Amino acid sequence: MNDDALLAEQMAYYKAGAAEYDRPYAEYEDLQKLLAAVGDLPIAGHVLELACGTGQWTPRLAARAQSVTAVDASPEVLALARARTGSPTVRFLEADLFEWRPPRRYDTVFFAFWLSHVPPARLPGFWNTVAAALAPGGKAIFIDDGPAAAAHEEVLADQPTPTALRRLDDGSEYRIVKVFHDARTLTDDLTAQGWSVRIRTMAGNFIGVAEPPTTAA
Amino acid sequence: MNDDALLAEQMAYYKAGAAEYDRPYAEYEDLQKLLAAVGDLPIAGHVLELACGTGQWTPRLAARAQSVTAVDASPEVLALARARTGSPTVRFLEADLFEWRPPRRYDTVFFAFWLSHVPPARLPGFWNTVAAALAPGGKAIFIDDGPAAAAHEEVLADQPTPTALRRLDDGSEYRIVKVFHDARTLTDDLTAQGWSVRIRTMAGNFIGVAEPPTTAA
Protein backbone atom coordinates (compact mmCIF):
# COMPACT_ATOMS: atom_id res chain seq x y z
CA MET A 1 0.00 0.00 0.00
CA ASN A 2 1.51 3.34 -0.96
CA ASP A 3 1.53 6.35 1.33
CA ASP A 4 -1.19 8.19 -0.55
CA ALA A 5 -3.59 5.28 -0.20
CA LEU A 6 -2.57 4.78 3.41
CA LEU A 7 -3.13 8.45 4.22
CA ALA A 8 -6.54 8.35 2.52
CA GLU A 9 -7.50 5.37 4.65
CA GLN A 10 -6.12 7.09 7.75
CA MET A 11 -8.28 10.11 7.01
CA ALA A 12 -11.30 7.86 6.47
CA TYR A 13 -10.66 6.24 9.84
CA TYR A 14 -10.65 9.51 11.71
CA LYS A 15 -13.67 10.68 9.75
CA ALA A 16 -15.66 7.52 10.46
CA GLY A 17 -14.50 7.22 14.04
CA ALA A 18 -14.93 10.85 15.09
CA ALA A 19 -17.57 10.33 17.74
CA GLU A 20 -16.14 7.00 18.82
CA TYR A 21 -12.62 8.08 19.50
CA ASP A 22 -13.81 11.15 21.31
CA ARG A 23 -15.91 9.00 23.56
CA PRO A 24 -13.12 7.69 25.82
CA TYR A 25 -12.39 11.26 26.89
CA ALA A 26 -16.06 11.87 27.67
CA GLU A 27 -16.24 8.53 29.45
CA TYR A 28 -13.11 9.40 31.34
CA GLU A 29 -14.71 12.59 32.58
CA ASP A 30 -17.84 10.69 33.57
CA LEU A 31 -15.75 8.05 35.31
CA GLN A 32 -13.80 10.68 37.22
CA LYS A 33 -17.07 12.16 38.45
CA LEU A 34 -18.28 8.73 39.56
CA LEU A 35 -14.99 7.96 41.27
CA ALA A 36 -15.14 11.32 43.03
CA ALA A 37 -18.72 10.59 44.11
CA VAL A 38 -17.48 7.59 46.10
CA GLY A 39 -16.31 10.10 48.69
CA ASP A 40 -19.90 11.11 49.40
CA LEU A 41 -21.35 7.62 49.65
CA PRO A 42 -22.12 5.95 52.99
CA ILE A 43 -19.25 3.47 52.75
CA ALA A 44 -18.33 2.29 56.21
CA GLY A 45 -17.04 -0.53 58.35
CA HIS A 46 -16.36 -3.89 56.73
CA VAL A 47 -16.96 -3.65 53.00
CA LEU A 48 -17.67 -6.41 50.50
CA GLU A 49 -16.92 -5.48 46.91
CA LEU A 50 -18.53 -7.73 44.33
CA ALA A 51 -16.91 -8.04 40.87
CA CYS A 52 -14.02 -5.81 41.82
CA GLY A 53 -12.49 -6.21 38.36
CA THR A 54 -9.08 -4.61 38.05
CA GLY A 55 -9.51 -2.70 41.30
CA GLN A 56 -10.52 0.66 39.92
CA TRP A 57 -12.76 1.25 42.94
CA THR A 58 -11.06 -0.88 45.57
CA PRO A 59 -8.49 1.65 46.87
CA ARG A 60 -11.23 4.27 47.17
CA LEU A 61 -13.32 1.85 49.20
CA ALA A 62 -10.31 0.92 51.32
CA ALA A 63 -9.76 4.59 52.17
CA ARG A 64 -13.21 4.71 53.79
CA ALA A 65 -13.47 1.18 55.18
CA GLN A 66 -12.26 -0.80 58.15
CA SER A 67 -11.65 -3.69 55.74
CA VAL A 68 -12.47 -4.59 52.14
CA THR A 69 -13.15 -8.07 50.83
CA ALA A 70 -12.99 -7.80 47.05
CA VAL A 71 -14.34 -10.71 45.02
CA ASP A 72 -14.01 -11.47 41.32
CA ALA A 73 -14.23 -14.58 39.16
CA SER A 74 -11.14 -13.85 37.11
CA PRO A 75 -7.62 -14.44 38.49
CA GLU A 76 -6.32 -12.23 35.65
CA VAL A 77 -8.21 -9.14 36.79
CA LEU A 78 -7.50 -9.94 40.44
CA ALA A 79 -3.77 -9.84 39.67
CA LEU A 80 -4.19 -6.32 38.29
CA ALA A 81 -6.36 -5.31 41.24
CA ARG A 82 -3.76 -6.60 43.69
CA ALA A 83 -1.05 -4.66 41.90
CA ARG A 84 -3.12 -1.48 42.07
CA THR A 85 -4.26 -1.83 45.67
CA GLY A 86 -1.47 -1.58 48.19
CA SER A 87 -3.57 -1.75 51.31
CA PRO A 88 -3.18 -4.30 54.13
CA THR A 89 -6.91 -4.01 54.91
CA VAL A 90 -7.94 -5.36 51.48
CA ARG A 91 -8.37 -9.06 50.87
CA PHE A 92 -9.00 -10.46 47.38
CA LEU A 93 -11.06 -13.57 46.76
CA GLU A 94 -11.51 -15.51 43.54
CA ALA A 95 -15.07 -16.80 43.24
CA ASP A 96 -17.93 -17.11 40.80
CA LEU A 97 -20.43 -14.59 42.14
CA PHE A 98 -23.35 -16.72 40.98
CA GLU A 99 -22.19 -19.57 43.17
CA TRP A 100 -20.39 -17.88 46.04
CA ARG A 101 -22.15 -17.20 49.33
CA PRO A 102 -20.48 -14.73 51.72
CA PRO A 103 -19.19 -16.44 54.86
CA ARG A 104 -19.99 -13.40 57.01
CA ARG A 105 -21.99 -10.16 56.95
CA TYR A 106 -20.76 -6.73 55.97
CA ASP A 107 -21.65 -3.13 56.69
CA THR A 108 -21.44 -2.21 53.01
CA VAL A 109 -21.84 -4.31 49.88
CA PHE A 110 -20.51 -2.38 46.91
CA PHE A 111 -20.65 -3.26 43.21
CA ALA A 112 -19.78 -1.00 40.31
CA PHE A 113 -20.74 -2.01 36.77
CA TRP A 114 -21.79 -5.45 37.89
CA LEU A 115 -25.57 -5.22 38.16
CA SER A 116 -25.81 -4.74 34.38
CA HIS A 117 -24.05 -8.10 33.90
CA VAL A 118 -26.55 -10.07 36.00
CA PRO A 119 -29.15 -11.89 33.87
CA PRO A 120 -32.68 -10.66 34.72
CA ALA A 121 -33.75 -14.18 35.69
CA ARG A 122 -31.05 -14.18 38.36
CA LEU A 123 -31.70 -10.69 39.70
CA PRO A 124 -34.07 -11.68 42.54
CA GLY A 125 -31.55 -14.27 43.71
CA PHE A 126 -28.73 -11.77 43.41
CA TRP A 127 -30.53 -9.20 45.54
CA ASN A 128 -31.30 -11.89 48.12
CA THR A 129 -27.61 -12.75 48.26
CA VAL A 130 -26.77 -9.07 48.76
CA ALA A 131 -29.42 -8.78 51.49
CA ALA A 132 -28.07 -11.88 53.22
CA ALA A 133 -24.54 -10.43 53.09
CA LEU A 134 -25.56 -7.24 54.89
CA ALA A 135 -25.28 -6.80 58.64
CA PRO A 136 -28.17 -5.05 60.39
CA GLY A 137 -28.21 -1.41 59.27
CA GLY A 138 -25.88 -2.25 56.36
CA LYS A 139 -26.25 -0.76 52.92
CA ALA A 140 -25.84 -1.92 49.34
CA ILE A 141 -24.18 0.67 47.13
CA PHE A 142 -24.13 0.19 43.38
CA ILE A 143 -23.03 2.10 40.32
CA ASP A 144 -23.81 1.21 36.74
CA ASP A 145 -24.68 2.26 33.23
CA GLY A 146 -28.09 3.73 32.55
CA PRO A 147 -30.04 3.37 29.29
CA ALA A 148 -27.94 6.04 27.51
CA ALA A 149 -24.92 3.73 27.60
CA ALA A 150 -26.66 1.35 25.19
CA ALA A 151 -25.67 3.71 22.38
CA HIS A 152 -22.04 2.71 22.97
CA GLU A 153 -22.59 -1.03 22.90
CA GLU A 154 -23.20 -3.51 20.14
CA VAL A 155 -26.50 -4.71 21.50
CA LEU A 156 -27.57 -8.06 20.02
CA ALA A 157 -31.23 -8.14 19.10
CA ASP A 158 -33.72 -10.92 19.79
CA GLN A 159 -31.81 -12.56 22.63
CA PRO A 160 -33.70 -14.13 25.54
CA THR A 161 -31.31 -12.32 27.91
CA PRO A 162 -30.13 -8.78 27.07
CA THR A 163 -26.82 -9.37 25.36
CA ALA A 164 -24.05 -7.19 23.98
CA LEU A 165 -21.10 -8.08 21.79
CA ARG A 166 -17.66 -7.09 23.05
CA ARG A 167 -14.55 -7.25 20.96
CA LEU A 168 -10.96 -7.44 22.16
CA ASP A 169 -8.01 -5.85 20.36
CA ASP A 170 -7.14 -9.17 18.73
CA GLY A 171 -10.56 -9.20 17.06
CA SER A 172 -12.03 -11.95 19.20
CA GLU A 173 -15.68 -11.47 20.04
CA TYR A 174 -17.58 -12.32 23.20
CA ARG A 175 -21.21 -12.09 24.10
CA ILE A 176 -21.88 -10.69 27.54
CA VAL A 177 -24.98 -9.98 29.59
CA LYS A 178 -25.71 -6.24 29.52
CA VAL A 179 -28.89 -4.88 31.07
CA PHE A 180 -29.22 -1.10 30.97
CA HIS A 181 -31.27 -0.50 34.06
CA ASP A 182 -33.47 2.53 34.23
CA ALA A 183 -33.19 4.23 37.64
CA ARG A 184 -36.93 4.58 38.08
CA THR A 185 -37.78 0.99 37.12
CA LEU A 186 -34.98 -0.32 39.29
CA THR A 187 -36.21 1.76 42.22
CA ASP A 188 -39.74 0.44 41.75
CA ASP A 189 -38.57 -3.17 41.44
CA LEU A 190 -36.43 -3.00 44.56
CA THR A 191 -39.14 -1.18 46.49
CA ALA A 192 -41.60 -3.90 45.50
CA GLN A 193 -39.17 -6.45 46.97
CA GLY A 194 -39.14 -4.53 50.25
CA TRP A 195 -35.90 -2.59 49.87
CA SER A 196 -35.51 1.06 50.83
CA VAL A 197 -33.68 2.58 47.90
CA ARG A 198 -32.46 5.91 46.61
CA ILE A 199 -30.97 6.06 43.11
CA ARG A 200 -29.55 9.17 41.58
CA THR A 201 -28.31 9.59 38.04
CA MET A 202 -25.02 11.17 37.02
CA ALA A 203 -24.35 11.70 33.31
CA GLY A 204 -25.33 8.34 31.75
CA ASN A 205 -24.78 6.43 34.98
CA PHE A 206 -26.64 5.85 38.20
CA ILE A 207 -25.62 5.50 41.82
CA GLY A 208 -27.86 3.57 44.17
CA VAL A 209 -27.94 3.22 47.94
CA ALA A 210 -30.29 0.57 49.27
CA GLU A 211 -31.21 -1.10 52.52
CA PRO A 212 -32.72 -4.58 52.39
CA PRO A 213 -36.09 -5.69 53.76
CA THR A 214 -35.75 -5.90 57.52
CA THR A 215 -36.90 -9.53 57.44
CA ALA A 216 -33.93 -10.40 55.21
CA ALA A 217 -31.36 -8.46 57.22
CA MET B 1 -28.02 -18.97 24.08
CA ASN B 2 -28.99 -19.83 27.65
CA ASP B 3 -27.85 -17.83 30.65
CA ASP B 4 -25.29 -20.38 31.79
CA ALA B 5 -23.55 -20.33 28.42
CA LEU B 6 -23.81 -16.56 28.26
CA LEU B 7 -22.32 -16.18 31.72
CA ALA B 8 -19.49 -18.56 30.81
CA GLU B 9 -18.71 -16.45 27.75
CA GLN B 10 -18.97 -13.27 29.82
CA MET B 11 -16.45 -14.70 32.26
CA ALA B 12 -14.18 -15.70 29.38
CA TYR B 13 -14.36 -12.15 28.03
CA TYR B 14 -13.26 -10.56 31.28
CA LYS B 15 -10.60 -13.22 31.68
CA ALA B 16 -9.19 -12.72 28.18
CA GLY B 17 -9.55 -8.96 28.23
CA ALA B 18 -8.15 -8.32 31.71
CA ALA B 19 -5.14 -6.27 30.67
CA GLU B 20 -6.95 -4.67 27.78
CA TYR B 21 -9.92 -3.33 29.62
CA ASP B 22 -7.75 -2.06 32.42
CA ARG B 23 -5.65 -0.13 29.92
CA PRO B 24 -8.08 2.74 29.26
CA TYR B 25 -7.84 3.72 32.92
CA ALA B 26 -4.05 3.68 32.77
CA GLU B 27 -4.16 5.61 29.51
CA TYR B 28 -6.53 8.15 31.03
CA GLU B 29 -4.10 8.65 33.87
CA ASP B 30 -1.25 9.11 31.39
CA LEU B 31 -3.37 11.45 29.32
CA GLN B 32 -4.29 13.50 32.37
CA LYS B 33 -0.61 13.90 33.17
CA LEU B 34 0.10 15.00 29.60
CA LEU B 35 -2.81 17.44 29.61
CA ALA B 36 -1.60 18.85 32.92
CA ALA B 37 1.91 19.21 31.47
CA VAL B 38 0.57 21.65 28.87
CA GLY B 39 0.55 24.22 31.65
CA ASP B 40 4.35 24.06 31.88
CA LEU B 41 5.06 24.28 28.14
CA PRO B 42 6.19 27.50 26.45
CA ILE B 43 2.88 28.06 24.66
CA ALA B 44 2.54 31.75 23.82
CA GLY B 45 1.21 34.32 21.40
CA HIS B 46 -0.52 33.14 18.27
CA VAL B 47 -0.74 29.36 18.24
CA LEU B 48 -1.21 26.99 15.31
CA GLU B 49 -2.56 23.58 16.29
CA LEU B 50 -2.08 20.89 13.66
CA ALA B 51 -4.45 17.92 13.61
CA CYS B 52 -6.53 19.27 16.46
CA GLY B 53 -8.84 16.26 16.32
CA THR B 54 -11.82 16.54 18.62
CA GLY B 55 -10.28 19.48 20.45
CA GLN B 56 -8.92 17.66 23.47
CA TRP B 57 -5.98 20.08 23.65
CA THR B 58 -7.45 23.17 22.03
CA PRO B 59 -9.06 24.79 25.10
CA ARG B 60 -5.84 24.29 27.05
CA LEU B 61 -3.90 26.02 24.30
CA ALA B 62 -6.49 28.80 24.13
CA ALA B 63 -6.05 29.46 27.84
CA ARG B 64 -2.38 30.28 27.25
CA ALA B 65 -2.56 31.86 23.78
CA GLN B 66 -3.47 35.17 22.21
CA SER B 67 -5.18 33.18 19.46
CA VAL B 68 -5.41 29.56 18.31
CA THR B 69 -5.80 28.41 14.72
CA ALA B 70 -6.76 24.74 14.90
CA VAL B 71 -6.54 22.70 11.70
CA ASP B 72 -7.85 19.24 10.93
CA ALA B 73 -8.80 17.32 7.80
CA SER B 74 -12.05 15.91 9.15
CA PRO B 75 -15.21 18.05 9.40
CA GLU B 76 -16.61 15.39 11.76
CA VAL B 77 -13.89 15.87 14.37
CA LEU B 78 -13.93 19.64 13.87
CA ALA B 79 -17.62 19.68 14.77
CA LEU B 80 -16.78 17.97 18.07
CA ALA B 81 -13.85 20.31 18.64
CA ARG B 82 -16.04 23.35 18.03
CA ALA B 83 -18.62 22.04 20.49
CA ARG B 84 -15.92 21.52 23.12
CA THR B 85 -14.09 24.81 22.63
CA GLY B 86 -16.13 27.84 23.58
CA SER B 87 -13.45 30.45 23.03
CA PRO B 88 -13.72 33.47 20.72
CA THR B 89 -9.94 33.39 20.20
CA VAL B 90 -10.03 29.95 18.55
CA ARG B 91 -10.55 29.55 14.82
CA PHE B 92 -11.04 26.13 13.23
CA LEU B 93 -9.87 25.31 9.73
CA GLU B 94 -10.60 22.23 7.64
CA ALA B 95 -7.56 21.29 5.58
CA ASP B 96 -5.44 18.31 4.56
CA LEU B 97 -2.23 18.88 6.50
CA PHE B 98 -0.16 17.29 3.74
CA GLU B 99 -1.39 19.91 1.28
CA TRP B 100 -2.08 22.95 3.42
CA ARG B 101 0.47 25.73 3.78
CA PRO B 102 -0.05 28.23 6.63
CA PRO B 103 -0.93 31.71 5.34
CA ARG B 104 0.96 33.39 8.19
CA ARG B 105 3.53 32.64 10.90
CA TYR B 106 2.87 31.68 14.48
CA ASP B 107 4.64 31.91 17.82
CA THR B 108 3.81 28.30 18.64
CA VAL B 109 3.06 25.33 16.42
CA PHE B 110 1.53 22.57 18.51
CA PHE B 111 0.65 19.02 17.50
CA ALA B 112 -0.35 16.19 19.81
CA PHE B 113 -0.45 12.61 18.52
CA TRP B 114 0.05 13.76 14.96
CA LEU B 115 3.76 13.18 14.34
CA SER B 116 3.24 9.42 14.65
CA HIS B 117 0.75 9.60 11.76
CA VAL B 118 3.18 11.26 9.34
CA PRO B 119 4.79 8.76 6.92
CA PRO B 120 8.59 8.73 7.36
CA ALA B 121 9.08 9.74 3.72
CA ARG B 122 7.12 12.92 4.41
CA LEU B 123 8.78 13.81 7.70
CA PRO B 124 11.46 16.15 6.28
CA GLY B 125 8.79 18.03 4.35
CA PHE B 126 6.57 18.13 7.42
CA TRP B 127 9.31 19.63 9.58
CA ASN B 128 10.02 22.18 6.86
CA THR B 129 6.37 23.18 6.86
CA VAL B 130 6.48 23.55 10.63
CA ALA B 131 9.66 25.64 10.41
CA ALA B 132 8.11 27.85 7.75
CA ALA B 133 5.04 28.37 9.94
CA LEU B 134 7.08 29.65 12.89
CA ALA B 135 7.75 33.33 13.48
CA PRO B 136 11.28 34.26 14.59
CA GLY B 137 11.80 32.89 18.10
CA GLY B 138 8.78 30.63 17.70
CA LYS B 139 8.67 27.07 18.98
CA ALA B 140 7.24 23.77 17.84
CA ILE B 141 5.71 21.75 20.67
CA PHE B 142 4.72 18.17 20.11
CA ILE B 143 3.40 15.26 22.13
CA ASP B 144 3.13 11.69 20.97
CA ASP B 145 3.41 8.00 21.68
CA GLY B 146 6.80 6.47 22.35
CA PRO B 147 7.85 2.92 21.46
CA ALA B 148 6.04 1.43 24.47
CA ALA B 149 2.70 2.33 22.90
CA ALA B 150 3.32 -0.20 20.13
CA ALA B 151 2.24 -2.91 22.56
CA HIS B 152 -1.29 -1.49 22.42
CA GLU B 153 -1.60 -1.37 18.65
CA GLU B 154 -2.17 -4.00 16.04
CA VAL B 155 1.01 -3.28 14.15
CA LEU B 156 0.98 -4.72 10.61
CA ALA B 157 4.25 -6.38 9.69
CA ASP B 158 6.16 -6.01 6.45
CA GLN B 159 4.64 -2.71 5.37
CA PRO B 160 6.77 -0.16 3.50
CA THR B 161 5.40 2.52 5.85
CA PRO B 162 4.84 1.68 9.54
CA THR B 163 1.18 0.76 9.66
CA ALA B 164 -1.29 -0.15 12.36
CA LEU B 165 -4.77 -1.60 12.10
CA ARG B 166 -7.54 0.28 13.88
CA ARG B 167 -11.00 -1.07 14.36
CA LEU B 168 -14.17 0.88 15.04
CA ASP B 169 -17.04 -0.35 17.18
CA ASP B 170 -18.96 -1.50 14.12
CA GLY B 171 -16.09 -3.86 13.28
CA SER B 172 -14.82 -1.87 10.31
CA GLU B 173 -11.04 -1.88 9.99
CA TYR B 174 -8.71 0.86 8.82
CA ARG B 175 -5.00 0.95 8.24
CA ILE B 176 -3.30 4.05 9.57
CA VAL B 177 0.27 5.32 9.61
CA LYS B 178 1.74 4.81 13.07
CA VAL B 179 5.40 5.54 13.74
CA PHE B 180 6.50 5.07 17.33
CA HIS B 181 9.27 7.62 17.55
CA ASP B 182 12.04 7.07 20.02
CA ALA B 183 12.90 10.32 21.84
CA ARG B 184 16.64 9.92 21.34
CA THR B 185 16.46 9.10 17.63
CA LEU B 186 14.00 11.90 17.05
CA THR B 187 16.27 14.32 18.89
CA ASP B 188 19.24 13.22 16.80
CA ASP B 189 17.30 13.46 13.53
CA LEU B 190 16.00 16.95 14.28
CA THR B 191 19.39 18.11 15.50
CA ALA B 192 20.94 16.82 12.27
CA GLN B 193 18.42 18.98 10.39
CA GLY B 194 19.53 22.04 12.36
CA TRP B 195 16.78 22.20 14.95
CA SER B 196 17.41 22.92 18.63
CA VAL B 197 15.35 20.34 20.43
CA ARG B 198 14.59 19.07 23.91
CA ILE B 199 12.43 15.98 24.29
CA ARG B 200 11.36 14.55 27.60
CA THR B 201 9.49 11.33 28.16
CA MET B 202 6.47 10.93 30.40
CA ALA B 203 5.10 7.42 30.96
CA GLY B 204 4.98 5.94 27.44
CA ASN B 205 4.79 9.35 25.78
CA PHE B 206 7.16 12.14 24.90
CA ILE B 207 6.91 15.91 24.90
CA GLY B 208 9.17 17.87 22.57
CA VAL B 209 10.02 21.57 22.33
CA ALA B 210 12.00 22.56 19.27
CA GLU B 211 13.25 25.65 17.51
CA PRO B 212 13.90 25.49 13.78
CA PRO B 213 17.19 26.18 12.02
CA THR B 214 17.65 29.96 11.99
CA THR B 215 17.95 29.90 8.20
CA ALA B 216 14.47 28.42 7.93
CA ALA B 217 12.83 30.76 10.42
**What is chain A written as a DSSP string?**
--HHHHHHHHHHHHHHTHHHHHHHHHHHHHHHHHHHHGGGS---SEEEEES-TTTSSHHHHHTT-SEEEEEES-HHHHHHHHHH---TTEEEEE--TTT---SS-EEEEEEES-GGGS-GGGHHHHHHHHHHHEEEEEEEEEEEE-GGGGGGSEEETT-SS-EEEEE-TTS-EEEEE-----HHHHHHHHHHTT-EEEEEEETTEEEEEEE--TTT-
Q: Do B175 and A121 make contact, defined as CB atoms within 8 angstroms?
A: no
Across the interface, do A76 and B13 touch by the CB < 8 Å criterion?
Answer: no
Mean pLDDT of A120-143: 96
A1-10 average pLDDT score: 85
What is the per-residue pLDDT for B164?
93
- The total of other beta-carbon atoms located within 10 Å of residue A66's CB is 12
* Every domain of chain A and the residues it spans: 3-211
Over residues A149-164, the mean pLDDT reads: 90
Q: Which superfamily is assigned to B3-211 in CATH?
A: Vaccinia Virus protein VP39 (3.40.50.150)
Highest mean pLDDT among A11-20, A72-81, B60-69: B60-69
Question: Residue A217 has what pLDDT?
Answer: 42
Taking CA–CA distances from A26, the nearest residue in chain B reads B56
Q: What is the pLDDT of residue B217?
A: 42
Q: Do A6 and B176 touch (CB under 8 A)?
A: yes
| Interchain pair B14, A161: CB under 8 A | no
Cβ-defined contact of A10 to B169 (cutoff 8 Å): no
- Give A44-72 pLDDT, tens digit per residue: 999 999 999 989 899 999 999 999 999 99
Closest residue in B to A116 (Cα) is B10
Q: DSSP per residue over B171-183, as a string?
A: S-EEEEE-----H
Mutate to test the interface with B, among A56, A154, A174, A179 (most CBs of B within 10 A): A174
CA–CA gap between residue A50 and residue A180 (Å, rounded): 18
- pLDDT tens digit sequence for B147-186: 999 988 889 998 889 999 988 877 788 899 999 999 999 9
Global ipTM? 0.80
Q: What is the mean pLDDT of residues A137-144?
A: 97
Q: What is the pLDDT of residue B216?
A: 44
Nearest by Cα to B213 from B91, B109, B108, B127 = B127
pLDDT band at A193 (very low <50, low <70, confident <90, very high): very high
- Name the stretches of chain B with pLDDT < 50: 216-217
How many contacts, defined by CB atoms under 8 Å, are there between A and B? 163
Q: Do A168 and B2 touch (CB under 8 A)?
A: no
> For position A216, what pLDDT does the model report?
44
- Tell me the average pLDDT across A115-123: 94
Q: How far is A188 from chain B (nearest CA, A)?
A: 24
